[in-house]
Structure 1
């Protein structure tokens, strides 16, 4: 029988046979050898490709417990030959997490990225609009316009000090690892030369602004040599936007970098610690949320007192300041906050229930009732004459609140201060790093203000002064400041004061007196009608008395 084959078909058939033989041979090599059905006495069963050391002639049997300990101490995420590919991937991610944990000293963080839960809906309040300071927003397209002014500032510094730029670059290079440890992401992505350039360029720009802003901006022209027509360094309209950007949490430089650069400029690198903090207090003074009607010399004295307090109350050597936002926050709280002790329980018949822990729940962040409800209970609000907007007092039914100024930058300012307090948490309630003092004040005012009527009442009492469009916008501002904020009212400096207010509110006699005043003594005509009614009532009672008296004791 003769078979005729096509040449191409025969070739493909032979190739298929060869491939099948190769696959079968590979499967035979990969198949594990058969496991023995018996195990030698006094020898452990060896699995996973590991084998104990061999026992030589004259040596004792290997220590099984030591071998077991060595197996137990091996890293759980080390790859093993028998692991499948997906397990090896997981072990690689664990190793990466271990390296990240070792490379990130969390206690040294000071410049944070604002959490997404806080920035939803308020992205603009946390993002620089004109200038980037530091590595987190470096290179953004819309912020590059200000880079040429940074280079001009560095040129002025080098020309004025007759230094070479390498002196500043060589000074900041040893600080690169310390600087990277301060940032929550972002700085690690910059190479050594890029990070050094960023520190010198942005740090010099910040110092030029601080030094030139003295005396109403005359320092730019008189001391630093800028033209009085300069578009940035002449205290024109751009300075307001630059100042607002420089107070943002994500737009900061570590203060020790600014101290080093200032020391190099002045020729005293060992004697400038804390000097930048004093300059920052002067520069950010227009952002203070106070509006006291002071003369210029009084304002200068107030700034001087803030500078002295920043230098004395917060010693950089014992309690180092972190960055400009931290300096600004400390200057706001420069006198320290003394918690108000709660009143004794026996003073009031009904006790306010404040024993529960109230954290991270908007409905439970209730310090006090709103202004309208407090007025119904006989609690009045009066202005307290002090520039410390947080220093609230309560005495005998009168809530004394300092004056606060609300402008277009107040929302961003408070949001970044609150974000810093949320991120930089410590165990202390002092006005240094950590604490929740600004958050406590914001939540207290949020409780007081529920509507435009509450804002109007506080404005009429001289407590709130605002430059916004309406009272409703002010109420909306305070009601949105602390959304998604984690807070415990029992750890607040206002918890004792709130307890006093709430106990007074729950005292029924004060509510009755307040209702009487509101219903019958609210205006002059109501007072006249009440007096007339009381007079007629007395006359009626007298007539009734004499009528009854004459009946029982008739006149002889």
Structure 2
């Protein structure tokens, strides 16, 4: 097979072996140097492998592969902390890390508690994993698991899968239930472990969790605990709002993939950028054509243009809309920023960048859009005061730096929010909306400015009345 021959080429085969790589007319290459011949043979190998019907296509269920973080992200020193597990290794990619060895006992203890809680024999669960090991291995690149045989992988999946399910189930219990089910594991380890569960290189195939869940009697309870766990994670990312549900027939890849699906799932609400009658009237009064459109850079600039920010109805990152009325209204989901925000979003971005994952880069596009709104600490302050951003990270400057840094070199899908951004630009281009916005923010944006404006207006009214009666009195005196 050509794919096998390509592997031979990558492993620097001998000159005799190179002559066997891929079929081709060697007479056509007789006038070329050895390097040129190798280049053409490699090119033909790729060409043949891409058209070879005998090469079986990878099962769609195993796509995308659980891969390592793309080099364009992992090579950045400031980003390494987002991708390296802090306390626990899940799966084979970080299994041999000595720094994470202390958590191995905790994982084994959680696995024992899982089997005891659900009254299932450990060898039954292990057998389920071992029988499906061929499928599970396809979820990884061969070079990432070449150091493990089937027995080692099956045992690893068994222990890690049971530990993950036990940790998830425990975290969703009430405080009273937790006291009865004491784990005797330090709280900080559990807290960091929950962050580690959503790292790209720390994922288990969701199939492992399904095999274990289907092997216990209270499978429904375990599935519901995963849903609650993901919902809680969303609440710590995007506050409030209706939560959409992914399609029931959709195959989940891993927990990180499930989190992404839920963050992007939209409800049945119609969320399209619209113009009210007043908005259409105002925009129709503006110039019909312009050679150059204004660009918006931050929340403060939008405010100066008369645009306010309010929360969207859902927690979906796709739910970004712009409404034109007396003032412009940009609706976006409320966001929660804490110590886990950088890790969460960067691993979602890394997941979207995996070459085997065909997607629309929705999370990447959302972060880039948010970066256009947040330029300085003052923008973060405006979002906080509007109730649109909950800051549990630190100072407003730290939040601004976070989003400015994590979006460096990211490439968004410009079509994702084009409907909203086009209407924002149209609104900013119109001089009428700008004048109305300045008048509003000068006289009506706060109660004090409104009272001041009302006082001036009443003063002018009394002055006019006084002048009227003075003139009338003078006229009567002349008579």
TM-score when normalising by structure 2: 0.74
Work out the CA distance in 2 between the residues paired with 1:425 and 1:502.
36
Secondary structure of the structure 2 residue equivalent to 1:288: helix
Moved more, 377-386 or 138-147: 377-386
Contact 1:404–1:464 at 8 Å: present in 2 too? yes
* Equivalent residue number for residue 94 of structure 2: 137
Residues 379 and 241 of structure 1: CA distance in aligned 2, closer, same or farther (over 3 Å)? same
* Equivalent residue number for residue 262 of structure 1: 213
Contact 1:110–1:424 at 8 Å: present in 2 too? no
Work out the CA distance in 2 between the residues paired with 1:210 and 1:243.
8
Of 260, 263, 278, the match for 1:332: 263
Describe the superposition over 1:266-315 as per-residue Cα deviations: whole angstroms up to 9, x where unpaired.
Answer: 159xxx5x976543232244432458999xxxxxxx9xx96xx64xx421
Of 403, 407, 415, the match for 1:478: 403
Residues 277 and 162 of structure 1: CA distance in aligned 2, closer, same or farther (over 3 Å)? closer
Residues 187 and 466 of structure 1: CA distance in aligned 2, closer, same or farther (over 3 Å)? same
* Equivalent residue number for residue 516 of structure 1: 439
Structure with bigger RCO (C-alpha 8 Å, 6+ apart): 2
Work out the CA distance in 2 between the residues paired with 1:275 and 1:95.
54
Describe the superposition over 1:83-119 as per-residue Cα deviations: whole angstroms up to 9, x where unpaired.
Answer: 9987897799789989998588396224222212223
TM-score when normalising by structure 1: 0.64
Describe the superposition over 1:120-156 as per-residue Cα deviations: whole angstroms up to 9, x where unpaired.
Answer: 2211111111111111111111111111122223333
Q: CA deviation at 1:425?
A: 7.4
* Equivalent residue number for residue 204 of structure 1: 162
Work out the CA distance in 1 between the residues paired with 2:177 and 2:66.
30
* Equivalent residue number for residue 245 of structure 1: 196
> How many matched pairs?
434
Residues 452 and 199 of structure 1: CA distance in aligned 2, closer, same or farther (over 3 Å)? same
* Equivalent residue number for residue 231 of structure 1: 185
Work out the CA distance in 2 between the residues paired with 1:538 and 1:106.
83
Secondary structure of the structure 1 residue equivalent to 2:370: helix
Which has more radius of gyration? 1
Of 389, 399, 405, the match for 2:336: 405
Matched, 1:126 2:78: no
Q: CA deviation at 1:409?
A: 0.7
Work out the CA distance in 1 between the residues paired with 2:466 and 2:176.
79
| Pairs within 5 Å for 1:134-533 | 134-159=91-116, 161=119, 163-165=121-123, 167-184=124-141, 185-216=143-174, 222=180, 228=182, 230-231=184-185, 236-264=187-215, 266=216, 278-289=224-235, 310=245, 313-315=246-248, 318-336=249-267, 340=272, 348=283, 349=286, 368-383=296-311, 391-395=319-323, 396=325, 397=327, 398-423=329-354, 434-490=359-415, 492=416, 494-518=417-441, 524=449, 527=453, 531=457
* Equivalent residue number for residue 63 of structure 1: none
Unaligned runs of 5+ in 2: 1-20
Unaligned runs of 5+ in 1: 1-72, 295-301, 357-363, 428-433
Describe the superposition over 1:9-45 as per-residue Cα deviations: whole angstroms up to 9, x where unpaired.
Answer: xxxxxxxxxxxxxxxxxxxxxxxxxxxxxxxxxxxxx
